[in-house]
A and B are shown apart, each in its own frame.
Chain A
Amino acid sequence: MKLLISMQAYNVQKLIFHMNTRPAVYERYGSDRDALFADYKLSAAEQDYIETMNVGALYEMGVQPQLLAPFAGRENIAWLDYIKGMENPGPLREKED
């Protein structure tokens, strides 16, 4: 078995990469979220998983954990809660209205 290139979850990973590394993008996540999600062409499920910090579901979609851990830290998810969320997919917080 070979490990091959996978463009799975490309857009949602790209958004998390940019939020992790570009302060202006992360700021838009707080102030202009719907437009940001649209710019990155996120599916409804991807949007929901990010907003509820369902890191386990994002991981199962193929998102690299090295993207998820720093994003979770920035979103004030404690390390042990993050690991539990990776082990048992589900929302780590409620979606904001």
Chain B
Amino acid sequence: MPLVFAAATNHGPGITARRETAPEDEVAPFFEGFERLHQRIEAAKLDALVMVSSDHIQNLYMDNMPAFIIGLGDSFPGPTEDEHFLKIPKTIVPGAPDLAAALADEVMETVDLAYSGELALDHGFMVPLHFLTPDYDVPVVPLIINCMFPPYPKLGRAYELGRALRRAIDQQPGRIGLLGTGGLSHWPAAPLSGKVAVEWDREFLDAMTANRRDDMIRYTDAEIERDGGPGGHEIRSWITVAGACEGSTGVLDFYTPLPSFAIGGAVVEMTIA
């Protein structure tokens, strides 16, 4: 059973960019939760980590926009953002090209993927990695879901992607982790930046921890945009993790609204059955 760890959490750039100016009592529960997640990832002794995130128009534009794209590189530069903004030093994150190719091959039995040997990692990957594998010593397979320009892949397809990933991962040797990042509700870099839709977040988290597929995928894109904000489309990453753990439930480690980071913050860890 090579999938040994599956979780989802946030990646908002404010987590590192605005940490110093955020009220400590607001953000402390978040960083404590991140540290617990860090410890659990370390304990999992991963050989590779498959990460699912959006791309924030750092690799992909509307001239060629895939619904899903997997990174086959043997390494990935990151972060793409300016160091003085994101406050994460530039580095090179090791990839796992053989694993990525094998996963892509099996996933494409049921879900079509684009692939690239030249992805760079933006805050969607680098903010979580900065805390969770701070030495960048776990090879990463990045998988991007288009959450920037509609039409977005349907929520049900994100769940199917997760199911396909699980089937593919389970055919591989080694200890493989899966981490979805993004969301929850937020209005990133927009006039409503800082708004957090607590009720919307909690409703989604209830559905995810119970792994109620139909409840997770019931939202229309317009409803997400209205109630969870443009950043709410990133629940697709969380849904993919739930799909990989179909038949299992999850545990909400914490949920806390983080207006200073302009996100609803949470960690959900799924049970691996």
Q: What is the interface of chain A, defined by CB distance below 8 A to chain B?
A: 1-7, 10, 13-14, 17, 20-21, 56, 59, 64-70, 73-74, 79, 82-83, 86-87
Q: A70-B81, A74-B82 are in contact. Are A64 and B150 (CB under 8 A)?
A: no
- CB pair A2–B61 under 8 Å, yes or no, is no
**Number of interchain pairs (Cβ within 8 Å):** 66
Q: 1/0 per residue B15-32: CB within 8 Å of A?
A: 001100000000000000
Q: Is B57 an interface residue (CB 8 A)?
A: yes
Instruction: Check if B222 is an interface residue, CB within 8 A of chain A.
Output: yes
Instruction: Contact check, A3 vs B151: say whether CB atoms are below 8 A apart.
Output: yes
Cβ-neighbour of B62 out of A4, A7, A65, A69 (below 8 A): A7
Ordered by A's residue number, 8 sampled pairs between the chains whose C-beta atoms are within 8 Å are A1-B222, A3-B225, A6-B150, A10-B62, A14-B61, A65-B190, A66-B56, A79-B18
Closest to A89 in B: B191
Using Cβ atoms and an 8 Å threshold, which residues of chain B touch A69? 188-189
> In the assembly, what is the distance between CA of A69 and CA of B14, in Å?
12
- Which of chain B's residues has its CB closest to A10's CB? B62
Q: Are A73 and B85 in contact (CB under 8 A)?
A: yes
Q: 8 shortest A-B CB distances, which residue pairs?
A: A69-B189, A65-B189, A3-B150, A3-B221, A73-B85, A1-B222, A65-B190, A66-B56
B150 touches A4 (CB 8 A): yes
Determine which of A6, A64, A87 lies in contact with B57 in the assembled complex, contact meaning CB atoms within 8 Å.
A64
Question: Interface on B for A, CB 8 Å cutoff?
Answer: 17-18, 56-59, 61-63, 80-82, 85, 148-152, 188-191, 193, 220-222, 225, 230
- Cα–Cα distance between A3 and B58 once the two chains are bound (Å): 22
The reply to whether A68 and B189 contact each other, CB–CB distance below 8 Å, is yes
CA distance A72 to B107 in the complex (A): 38
CB distance from A24 to the nearest CB of B (A): 16
Q: How far is the CB of A25 from chain B (nearest CB, A)?
A: 13
Establish whether residues A66 and B148, one from each chain, have CB atoms under 8 Å apart when the complex forms: yes
Knowing A21-B80, A70-B85, the reply to whether A87 touches B191 (Cβ < 8 A) is yes
- The distance in angstroms between the C-alpha atoms of A79 and B56, with both chains bound, is 17
Docked pose: A64 CA to B189 CA in angstroms: 9
Q: Are A5 and B190 interface neighbours, CB within 8 A?
A: no
How near does chain A come to B26, taking the closest CB pair, in angstroms?
17
Choice from B56, B58, B148, B189 contacting A86 with Cβ under 8 Å: B189
Q: Is the CB of A70 within 8 A of B82?
A: yes
Cβ A20 vs Cβ B57 within 8 A: yes
Chain A residues whose C-beta falls within 8 Å of the C-beta of B152 in the assembled complex: 3
Distance in angstroms between the alpha carbons of A56 and B62 in the assembled complex: 22
What residue in chain B is nearest A6 (Cβ atoms)? B150
The reply to whether A2 and B222 contact each other, CB–CB distance below 8 Å, is yes
Contacts A66-B56, A66-B57, A66-B188 aside, 14 further interface pairs with beta carbons under 8 A come to A1-B222, A2-B222, A3-B150, A3-B225, A5-B151, A7-B62, A10-B62, A56-B191, A65-B189, A68-B189, A70-B81, A79-B17, A79-B18, A86-B189
